[in-house]
Amino acid sequence: MNEPVRSSSAYEFISFSVGNQDFCIGTTSVREIRGWTPAMALPHAPEHVIGVVNLRGLVLPIVDLSVRLGFQATTPTSRHAIIVVETGRQVVGLLVDAVSDIFTVDDQQIQPVSNIAGNARNCLHGVIAMEGRLVGAIDMANLLPFMNMAA
């Protein structure tokens, strides 16, 4: 996992929603947050890759995070957001329903994902219980393994 910003034993995350679920990623992985921009479809792309957009001269692949996490495909609208993330040398856009906030948690607040969760453990670093809700902490290295192979 790309390590979130760490001060003493705390991690900084940005939270967002995908469907009716809350997730987060470490802020050190995030380059910027943008509004939805229609993407050019790519032939023979994996199911979770919507296509590519031009980001100031960079051809940016857009991943439907809902599909990548095993949920229904998103029908993007102007209300959706793209979180531009960087892992290694690769940059990719993650399509999410909405970005919520930035928060900091201690190591002890990140609970491991149960063995019962099966393949979900591949995409999640852990789960954070906060303010009456559960937030899945995304493991960027396992979420987008094709990015690490190219790095």
* Residue 148: predicted pLDDT: 45
Q: What is the pLDDT of residues 102-120, one digit of tens each?
A: 999 998 899 988 765 555 5
Beta carbons within 8 Å of 123's beta carbon, 6+ residues apart: 68, 69, 138, 139, 142, 143
Domains defined along the chain, listed by start:
5-150 (2.40.50.180)
Please check the confidence at residue 45 and state whether its pLDDT lies above 60: yes
Whole-model pTM: value is 0.86
For CA atoms 27, 96, 31, 44, the dihedral sign is: positive
With H, G, I as helix, E, B as strand and everything else as coil, classify residue 116: helix
Rounded distance between C-alpha atoms, residue 97 and residue 76, angstroms? 8
